């Protein structure tokens, strides 16, 4: 059964859930507003430029998870889903997922954004399989550290290959949809790479390679 693999932020969603979670924390007064807003924007700009130090960013972005009990975090996340994520759901993305379901493909979301933020989004999209950056949990609380390999750039390939080995799937006939040049290591690996509302770097690369370029906006 072929895999249909999807990036999440700015691909299946009309925005970036990681960046918006940071802005949500600021709006709720849960972090030092001006400093956090400034750093959140800086890391987002570095991500788009392809210069992000993922471990430095995770030390920043996972810290708030360690500062509050999981039950309270879940309450805030539910509000975040309703206020920030629901408006970003794209009908064309839903239609694309449905098209692959009808074809009998196995759907998988693979995202650098941490699992705490993305798990309910994958659930809302009806996608069972999710590979995301995993925040470390210890005794029912987040530690602020990352568990295992961050699901970013080449790390997406590492995480996917481990998942393939564990699940018995393979990349024969597979698809991967992404908006970002940060995903080129995985886009180069699959038989059917598709650029979705791509950034300028990915758009140029896709055009050079003859990859499909589509919009879900």
Alpha carbon distance, N-terminus to C-terminus of the chain: 28
Residue 173's pLDDT is what? 97
Check residue 194 and give its pLDDT. Answer: 98
* Radius of gyration for the alpha carbons in the chain, expressed in angstroms and rounded: 17
Which CATH number is 169's domain given?
A: 3.40.50.1000
pTM for this one?
0.96
The confidence score (pLDDT) of residue 135 equals 98
The number of CA neighbours under 13 Å toward the Cβ of 209 is 17
142: part of which helix (H) or strand (E)?
Answer: strand 141-147
pLDDT digits (tens, 9 = 90+) for 138-149: 999 999 999 999
Amino acid 33: pLDDT: 82
What pLDDT does 32 receive? 85
Number of domains in the chain: 1
> Which run of H or of E encompasses 163?
helix 154-167
- Per-residue tens of pLDDT for the chain, all 217 residues: 899 999 999 999 999 999 999 999 999 999 888 899 899 999 999 999 999 999 999 999 999 999 999 999 999 999 999 999 999 999 999 999 999 999 999 999 999 999 999 999 999 999 999 999 999 999 999 999 999 999 999 999 999 999 999 999 999 999 999 999 999 999 999 999 999 999 999 999 999 999 999 999 9
Active site residue 7: yes
The question of whether 183 is a catalytic residue gets the answer: no
Per the listing, tokens 């992404």 go with 178
Tokens of 138: 């210890």
Q: From the candidates 7, 16, 18, 179, which is the catalytic residue?
A: 7
Domain that holds residue 95: 3-214
- C-alpha–C-alpha distance, residues 172 and 190, integer Å: 8
- Residue 92 buriedness (CB in 10 A; 0-12 / 13-18 / 19+): middle
């Amino acid at each position: 059964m072929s895999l249909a693999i999807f990036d999440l932020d700015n691909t299946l969603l009309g925005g970036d859930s990681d960046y918006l979670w940071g802005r949500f924390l600021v709006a709720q007064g849960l972090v030092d507003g001006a400093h956090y807003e400034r750093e959140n924007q800086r890391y987002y700009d570095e991500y788009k430029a392809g210069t992000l130090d993922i471990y430095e960013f995770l030390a920043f972005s996972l810290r708030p998870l360690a500062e509050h009990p999981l039950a309270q975090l879940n309450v805030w996340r539910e509000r975040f889903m309703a206020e920030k994520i629901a408006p970003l759901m794209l009908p064309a993305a839903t239609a694309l997922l449905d098209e692959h379901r009808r074809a009998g493909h196995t759907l998988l979301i693979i995202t650098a954004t941490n699992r705490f933020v993305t798990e309910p989004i994958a659930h809302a999209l009806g996608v069972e399989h999710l590979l995301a950056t995993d925040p470390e949990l210890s005794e029912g609380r987040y530690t602020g550290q990352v568990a295992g390999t961050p699901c970013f750039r080449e790390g997406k390939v590492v995480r996917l290959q481990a998942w393939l080995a564990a699940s018995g799937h393979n990349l024969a006939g597979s698809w991967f949809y992404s908006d970002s040049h940060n995903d080129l290591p995985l886009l180069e690996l699959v038989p059917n790479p598709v650029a979705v509302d791509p950034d300028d770097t990915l758009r140029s690369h896709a055009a050079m390679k003859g990859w499909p370029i589509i919009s879900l906006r």
